[in-house]
């Protein structure tokens, strides 16, 4: 069941990405002749009233939409007068919208999924009660004890435990009001800088009992929106550290690596499936915008250059573009696949 769920996630991601391209193309009245999930022989097909052939193909390793005029851009064609329902007849702005739409749908679907998790499953928060005090920390040296309730920090009211760190992010001094046995006690002391966490710490942790807040519309909206840029920033920062520490080969995982780790990803539970969908959706959304030839980001660069040169580039430039794209994508695929086989 775990591997079936992983396959469903991948197929759904492909469908959503290609649906973005399809929807934007149809918005600008461009003809789409094929919408395929998978490659190779078709095992199911249906033609709609717009003459689009919807297909489910035998090899579920990707998908595509065949947009009129887009499939022939790399061929040596001298034609300048394109049909009105052709991709080639559109302005640069509309072409870019179609190319961006796949990634936009991936990121949008990830946000909707995350919002549903937060809204229906609930947001876990912790009360401002001290659950544990670290030894030799500023908290232990200033007599903060387990069971103390943190009331205010540096003048800010504390409603849940996560509020505490927000009040002293860039200072090494803290003023804490705590409630102990119905008495209000003021503690003022300097903090210790933690090099691993790259910030000042008090040396306390929360209790192990979370408070689950379900059906909170505002909190679900705000946290799901904040999560996406935070996720991208954290991922980029982690990637840079992995490169600097020369541990990148241990961190990368492709399809084979995902299959090998599938039993560790809680894909037998609905929440685990939804979180995996979110993570891969956000990755696919941003990866396709990297300006590598043949990816959506590379296409945007290509069509931008074409528009500068009156929508025409020497065929040798197009051939170089194709060669570079195929080389880079092939290298990434081979590297990740070998890494999955030998290092995971």
- Retrieve residue 257's tokens: 């690596």
What pTM was computed for the model?
0.80
The reported pLDDT for the residue numbered 78 is 57
The reported pLDDT for the residue numbered 253 is 59
The reported pLDDT for the residue numbered 8 is 86
> Does the pLDDT at position 13 exceed 90?
yes
**Higher-scoring residue by pLDDT: 322, 95:** 95
Strand intervals (E) in the chain: 32-47, 53-67, 123-125, 132-133, 149-153, 156-157, 173-180, 183-190, 192-194, 199-201, 204-205, 211-213
pLDDT class for 190, splitting at 50, 70, 90?
A: confident
* 20-63 pLDDT, tens digit each: 999 999 999 999 999 999 888 889 999 998 899 999 988 877 88
* Exposure class string for 31-61: b at 16+ Cβ within 10 A, else e: bbebbbbbeeeeeeeeeeeeebebbbbeebe
* 76-99 pLDDT, tens digit each: 555 566 788 899 889 999 999 999
18 is catalytic: yes
> Does the pLDDT at position 289 exceed 90?
yes
Q: Which domains does the chain have, with CATH numbers?
A: 2-122+247-343 (no CATH), 125-212 (2.30.42.10)
**Higher-scoring residue by pLDDT: 283, 169:** 283
> Does the pLDDT at position 259 exceed 70?
no
The reported pLDDT for the residue numbered 341 is 64
For the chain, give the longest Cα–Cα distance: 85
The reported pLDDT for the residue numbered 120 is 92
Mean pLDDT, range 135-158, rounded to an integer: 90
Which residues touch 230 (CB under 8 Å, ≥6 apart)?
Answer: none
Check if the beta carbon of residue 201 is closer than 8 Å to that of residue 171: no
* 200-255 pLDDT, tens digit each: 788 899 988 888 888 889 989 999 999 999 989 888 887 787 767 766 666 665 55
- Catalytic option among 18, 129, 177, 251: 18
> Does the pLDDT at position 257 exceed 60?
no
Mean pLDDT, range 144-148, rounded to an integer: 92
The reported pLDDT for the residue numbered 129 is 92
Residue whose entry in the numeric block shows the structure tokens 């990405």: 17
Radius of gyration from C-alpha coordinates of the chain:
26
């Amino acid at each position: 069941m775990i591997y079936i769920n992983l396959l469903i996630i991948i197929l759904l991601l492909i469908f959503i990405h290609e649906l973005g391209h399809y929807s934007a193309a149809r918005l600008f009245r461009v003809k789409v002749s094929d919408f395929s999930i998978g490659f190779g022989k078709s095992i199911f097909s249906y033609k709609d009233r717009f003459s689009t052939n919807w297909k489910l193909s035998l090899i579920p390793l990707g998908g595509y939409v065949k947009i009129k005029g887009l499939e022939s851009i790399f061929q040596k064609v001298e034609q300048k007068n394109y049909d009105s329902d052709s991709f080639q007849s559109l302005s640069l702005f509309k072409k870019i919208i179609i190319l961006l739409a796949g990634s936009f749908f991936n990121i949008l679907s990830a946000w909707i999924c995350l919002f549903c998790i937060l809204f229906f499953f609930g947001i876990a928060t912790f009360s401002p009660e001290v659950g544990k005090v670290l030894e030799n920390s500023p908290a232990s040296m200033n007599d903060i004890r387990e069971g103390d309730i943190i009331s205010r920090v540096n003048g800010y009211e504390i409603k849940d435990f996560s509020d505490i760190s927000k009040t002293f992010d860039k200072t090494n001094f803290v003023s804490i009001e705590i409630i102990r046995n119905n008495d209000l006690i003021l503690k003022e002391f300097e903090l210790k800088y933690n090099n691993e966490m790259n910030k000042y710490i008090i040396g306390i942790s929360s209790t192990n009992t979370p408070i689950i807040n379900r059906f909170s519309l505002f909190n679900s909206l705000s946290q799901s929106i904040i999560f996406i840029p935070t996720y991208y920033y954290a991922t980029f920062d982690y990637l840079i550290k992995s490169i600097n520490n020369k541990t990148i080969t241990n961190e990368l995982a492709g399809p084979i690596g995902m299959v090998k780790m599938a039993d560790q990803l809680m894909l037998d539970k609905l929440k685990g499936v939804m979180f995996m969908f979110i993570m891969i959706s956000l990755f696919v959304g941003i990866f396709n915008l990297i300006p590598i030839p043949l990816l959506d980001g590379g296409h945007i660069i290509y069509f931008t250059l074409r528009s500068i040169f009156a929508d025409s580039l020497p065929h040798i430039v197009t051939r170089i573009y194709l060669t570079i794209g195929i080389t880079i994508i092939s290298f990434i695929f081979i590297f990740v696949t070998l890494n999955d086989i030998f290092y995971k």
